Amino acid sequence: MKTKLETPYYLIDEKKLLHNLKKILWLKKKTGVKVLLALKCFSTWSVFNLIREYLDGTTSSSLYETRLGYEKFGKETHAYCVGYKLEEIKEIKKYAKTIIFNSVSQLKKFYNEVKDLEIGLRINPKVSYSQYDLADPARRFSRLGVVDKNAIKEGLNLIDGVMFHFNCENDNFENFSKNLDYIAENYEFVLSKVDWVSLGGGIYFTKKEYPLKEFAKKLLWFSKKFKVQIYLEPGEAVITECGELVCQVVDIVHNEIDIAIVDASTEAHMLDILIYRTPAKLKTSPEGKYKYMIAGRSCLAGDVFGIYNFDKKLKVGDIIRIQDAAGYTMVKKNWFNGLQMPSIVVKRLNGQIEVVRKFSYEDFLYNLS
């Protein structure tokens, strides 16, 4: 007998996750690239046992993520941060195999502390792909990576590798290829002297219809040309389409349009929807004659998932499944309004449903002070 799950909850489907992981494994075998999970996107370690079989390790953006990768994932642990503190550097050394600096000033400042690790430097090539200025790594005045080539040359003898993280949700292979050509042409003075190159994340190479074979050829060309080990640091590409936010309608009101209020919130549970002003993905009927705004139950006036058409009228108690809800959701969830935090549920490969985390008032209480 199936146990009814209390909404809201995040549901991760391991079979769908495995679909992405098999594509990654194919790419690794064809090209020799190493692939690291970007914990800034997805840190739900209850499925790390599966991901670990296919990926080479984790990459992080902070001390805590570095420690999480080391303790819960194992394998290679890479550390990166826009700005380190000395006490963090001393702690990170316990966990990281590789540390990447965002500036030459921090590289020089902390070199003696980390010289026994693999050391990298992030470079800003001033080319990028992003549909959002907010997330564009090469936007005007970007602080992400070193722009000055003379400064890069100053730090060359201190590093083993470099990172070019220049993509954000890039499903356009032609754009990626063109930008990689640009990097190859303009940074030969670096690429010819390092052992490895990270191309960062933000490349949607597991997306349906993405030209994976052409992508593999391009990576192979680059690695052979410069005799470097390539690293990719995907987040969304690992977990795309494997998660849902499952919620239920708690009320229906009308103000020019029918509004279905659900027991979840964009602000608290899917913050990126609010930040980037994009509608949530729902499997609905575009031609359906019943139109509803799906809205959250926080006090924020703009707490809206989107407007959708349905074949049938919605009613209180109906389940709403918000698609593609694994990346940048659980890592950003918060206690705004003190709303009930969604549980984390995993559908294992054998079909078993496992509630791996429930949140209570005590979690809310001690999140504060």
Q: Identify the burial level of 110 via C-beta atoms within 10 angstroms of its C-beta, where 0-12 means exposed, 13-18 middle and 19 or more buried.
A: buried
Q: What is the pLDDT of residues 45-83, one digit of tens each?
A: 999 999 999 999 999 999 999 999 999 999 999 999 999
pTM here is 0.95
Average pLDDT for residues 221-249, to the nearest whole number? 98
214-250 b/e (C-beta count within 10 Å ≥ 16 → b)? ebbebbeebbeebebebbbbbbbbbbbbbbbbbbbbe
Q: Give the model's pLDDT for residue 145.
A: 98
Q: Give the model's pLDDT for residue 261.
A: 98
Within 10 A of 268 (CB to CB), how many other CB atoms are there?
A: 25
Q: Cβ neighbours of residue 344 under 8 Å, at least 6 residues apart?
A: 9, 10, 12, 44, 46, 330, 355, 356, 357
SS3 286: coil
- C-alpha to C-alpha distance for 34 and 49, rounded to whole angstroms: 18
Q: What class has domain 14-239?
A: alpha beta
Dihedral (CA of 331, 333, 335, 336) sign: positive
- C-alpha to C-alpha distance for 28 and 213, rounded to whole angstroms: 12
Q: Give the model's pLDDT for residue 3.
A: 59
Delimiting residues of CATH 2.40.37.10 domain(s) in the chain: 242-367
Is the pLDDT reported for residue 123 higher than 50?
yes
Give the pair of three-digit tokens for residue 324. Answer: 């593609």
Q: Which residue, among 296, 315, 180, has the nearest Cα to 245 in the 3D structure?
A: 296
Q: Identify the burial level of 90 via C-beta atoms within 10 angstroms of its C-beta, where 0-12 means exposed, 13-18 middle and 19 or more buried.
A: middle
Is the pLDDT reported for residue 243 higher than 60?
yes
Confidence of residue 151 (pLDDT cuts 50, 70, 90): very high
Confidence of residue 331 (pLDDT cuts 50, 70, 90): very high
The answer to whether the beta carbons of residues 80 and 131 sit under 8 Å apart is no
CATH number assigned to the domain covering 242-367: 2.40.37.10
Confidence of residue 1 (pLDDT cuts 50, 70, 90): very low
Average pLDDT for residues 138-154, to the nearest whole number? 97
Q: Which residue, among 80, 28, 46, 345, has the nearest Cα to 212 in the 3D structure?
A: 28
Delimiting residues of CATH 3.20.20.10 domain(s) in the chain: 14-239
**Mean pLDDT score of the chain, rounded to an integer?**
97
Q: What is the pLDDT of residues 264-290, one digit of tens each?
A: 999 999 999 999 999 999 988 888 999
Q: Give the model's pLDDT for residue 2.
A: 53
Is the pLDDT reported for residue 9 higher than 80?
yes
Q: Give the model's pLDDT for residue 4.
A: 83
Is the pLDDT reported for residue 97 higher than 90?
yes
